[in-house]
């Protein structure tokens, strides 16, 4: 089994079956183009969703008569909670100053500072925000909530905003995952079906080779190489088109639009490598699987 013989047979098959081979290459080209756009979009969307999820917080309000010792005790309590990743203390004076800058007229009418000392906590996992609230302010048997420390007045997790953020980001992730899965399945079926058309046009040749004693892999290798060549050509053309779009459209727009420049996505050279490997692998696998039917004679 000489590689040169298999390569020569694959090239001869491509020339003899130009139309099915071109259809297969076009399918690979379109698939790689879609994947080349889809992967960065999924990464950018997921990154934006994670950034939004990172804004999920809860506020722990202390009683107005809380002393320094109470503040330090609550601080240690919050930092010992494994589900909490960040604890930020906001004194009543800091809160009053921020609110007064936001609403100067309203706070001018107040004779004293009504705001309490507050701890703003960020969960390690945004989905744990409800558990953190239950841990710090568990439900009381008769209704309502108690607190785990007498200096804590109330724990608010901004439930309405939190639920909206978590719902939207979960929908985005699930939708992108489903689209990615459907795209992968559709690509595999399209490539396998197109290559199967090429194999069907040469079924007599395969049957004759099988009858005269050729092994399955001796018959299969030229077709696998044909799929590799088709996938390689389709992938290279698609990558060239993606590179043109990146240089001519995306890069100039990134200098003017922060929305395009901000998301962290896969490096373009690495994306090229992944797309080439995917194009060649799927095409070769489609060739091998499609040929199995014609080896049963």
Give 28-51 pLDDT, tens digit per residue.
Answer: 788 788 778 777 777 776 666 666
Q: For residue range 198-220, list pLDDT tens digits in order.
A: 677 667 777 777 777 777 667 77
- Quote the percentage of the chain above a pLDDT of 90: 6
Question: What SS3 state is found at 85?
Answer: strand
How confident is the model over 94-124, as pLDDT tens digits? 888 888 887 777 777 766 778 889 999 888 8
pLDDT of 297: 45
Count the Cβ atoms, other than its own, within 10 Å of residue 151: 19
* The two three-digit tokens of residue 194, written as one number: 């197109």
Listed in sequence order, the residues at least 6 apart from 192 whose beta carbon sits closer than 8 Å to its beta carbon are: 285, 286, 289, 290
HSE-CB of 281 using CA atoms within 13 angstroms: 7
Q: Say yes or no to pLDDT of 283 above 80.
A: no
CA dihedral 31, 33, 39, 44 (to 10 degrees): -150
What pLDDT does 38 receive? 76
Q: How confident is the model at residue 140 (pLDDT cuts 50, 70, 90)?
A: confident
Question: Which CATH number is 57-156 given?
Answer: 3.30.70.3040
Calculate mean pLDDT across residues 85-101.
Answer: 87
d(CA 187, CA 175): 18
For residues 131-146, give the mean pLDDT. Answer: 82
Domain with CATH 3.30.70.3040 in the chain: 57-156
Indicate the length of the chain as a whole number.
Answer: 297
The residue ranking higher by pLDDT, 170 or 93, is 93
What is the DSSP code string of 235-275?
A: HHHHHHHHHHHIIIIIHHHHTT-HHHHSS----HHHHHHHH
Q: Is residue 280 very low, low, confident or very high in pLDDT (cuts 50, 70, 90)?
A: confident
pLDDT at 9: 65
What one-character-per-residue DSSP string does 108-174 give? Answer: HS-SS--PPPEEEEEESSGGGHHHHHHHHSPBPTTSSB--SSTTEEEEE--HHHHHHHHHHHHHHHH
pLDDT at residue 264, rounded to an integer: 64
Yes or no: say if 81 and 129 are a contact pair by the CB < 8 Å rule: no
pLDDT at 125 over 90: no
């Amino acid at each position: 089994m000489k590689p040169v013989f298999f390569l020569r047979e694959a090239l001869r098959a491509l020339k003899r079956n130009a139309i099915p081979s071109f259809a297969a290459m076009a399918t690979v080209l379109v698939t790689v183009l879609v994947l080349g756009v889809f992967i960065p979009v999924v990464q950018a969307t997921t990154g934006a969703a994670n950034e939004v999820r990172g804004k999920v917080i809860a506020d722990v309000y202390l009683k107005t008569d809380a002393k320094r010792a109470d503040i330090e005790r609550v601080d240690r309590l919050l930092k010992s909670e494994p589900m909490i990743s960040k604890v930020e203390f906001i004194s009543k004076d800091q809160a009053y100053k921020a609110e007064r800058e936001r609403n100067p007229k309203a706070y001018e009418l107040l004779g004293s500072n009504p705001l309490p000392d507050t701890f703003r906590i960020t969960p390690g996992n945004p989905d744990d925000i409800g558990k953190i609230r239950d841990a710090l302010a568990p439900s009381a048997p008769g209704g309502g909530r108690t607190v785990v420390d007498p200096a804590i007045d109330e724990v608010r997790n901004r439930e309405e905003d939190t639920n909206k953020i978590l719902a939207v980001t979960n929908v985005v992730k699930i939708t992108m995952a489903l689209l990615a899965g459907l795209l992968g399945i559709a690509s595999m079926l399209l490539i396998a079906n197109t290559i199967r058309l090429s194999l069907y046009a040469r079924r007599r040749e395969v049957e004759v080779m099988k009858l005269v004693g050729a092994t399955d892999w001796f018959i299969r290798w030229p077709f696998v190489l044909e799929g590799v060549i088709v996938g390689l050509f389709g992938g290279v053309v698609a990558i060239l088109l993606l590179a043109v779009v990146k240089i001519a459209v995306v890069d100039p727009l990134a200098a003017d639009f922060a929305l395009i420049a901000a998301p962290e996505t896969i490096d373009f050279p690495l994306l090229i490598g992944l797309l080439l490997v995917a194009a060649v692998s799927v095409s070769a696998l489609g060739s091998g699987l499609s040929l199995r039917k014609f080896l049963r004679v």
